[in-house]
Amino acid sequence: MDEKEDEKEKEKKEGEVDRGDVTGKGGVGAMRLPSLRCAPLLEEKDSLLDERLRRRLAEIGTLRRLPAGTPLQEEGEKAVSILNLVEGIVATYRLSDEGERRILSFHFPGDLIGLLEKGRYVNSARALTPIVAYVFPTAAFLRFLGEHPGVEEAFLAKAHQDLREAEQHALMLARREAHERLLLLLDLLRKRLPVKEGEGGAVVLDLPLRRADIADYLGLSVEAVSRAFGRLEEEGYLRLLTPRRVELLPLSKERVAALA
């Protein structure tokens, strides 16, 4: 949607990307391997994949770069591939019977996209920004899981992480007032997105989402989202530098605890 120049540039070579290629942008030269953004089930062991397994995993997939707005999968479609996001942001969503789009989750680097049931995608997914992702054929991916105990454990932990985050989303939606929901979302984004430190604990956040995306995630109308921003600004939680750039102010003392 934005960053049009980026899109244009890559659209023609949207196919496989040489492993080293991607690192040219942002990487420090190290090759990027599949990874999981995940908290472990038990404290002692962190169930992240070790580098050997990540290398093996990389062999069964292909690294691809896709422009913003790319539809990645459709609800009900036969699931041919599973994505491991390396860079960028993806939204998964469903269309209600009235044709309204309900965003179920945002995905960040280290996430897996491609929840499936009986071989079919459960949700639709779409890149919100230009993305880089490993693409694994579903069958090969699942076979790999079965053959590598320890890997399966890591992905089990990841599924649990996703579950916790879905529950968090439900808690967000259970909030009655629009500005409360928005505050929770902004807090979530602050943890996931790169932030620029401001003075005195304030941070500046560049939102990769349009108002419509936020509305569809929070179960609100775009107008309500807009007013919620206004209200949070009045109450001193933030300042809108531009519609897409927010400065989160520090005085959230009592409300920090509120963000269960």
Partner DNA sequence: CGGTACGTTGACCCCATTCAAAGGGGGTGG
Partner DNA sequence: CCACCCCCTTTGAATGGGGTCAACGTACCG
237 binds DNA (CB under 7 A): no
Nearer to DNA, 11 or 177 (CB): 177
Burial letters 174-185, b for 16+ CB under 10 A, else e: ebeebbbbbbbb
Q: Which of 31, 139, 159, 212 contacts DNA by CB under 7 A?
A: 212
Among 13, 19, 51, 166, binds a second copy (CB under 8 A): 166
- Which of 221, 239, 250, 259 contacts DNA by CB under 7 A? 221
Q: Which partner from the list DNA, a second copy, none does 226 bind, CB cut-off 5 to 8 Å by kind?
A: DNA
C-alpha closest to that of 67 among 140, 141, 129:
129
* CA–CA gap between residue 174 and residue 177 (Å, rounded): 9
43 binds, among a second copy, DNA, none (CB under 5 to 8 A by kind): a second copy
Indicate the angle between helix axes 211-218 and 178-192, nearest 10 degrees.
110
Point out which span in 161-169, 202-210, 228-236, 241-249 binds a second copy (CB under 8 A): 161-169
Closest to 108 (Cα-Cα) out of 30, 218, 203, 191: 191
* Residue 68 touches which member of DNA, a second copy, none, C-beta under 5-8 Å by kind: none
40 binds a second copy (CB under 8 A): yes
251 binds a second copy (CB under 8 A): no
Return the residue of 27, 110, 198, 219 that touches a second copy, per CB under 8 A. 219
Binding stretches for DNA (CB under 7 A): 1, 4, 176-179, 210-212, 219-230, 240, 242-244
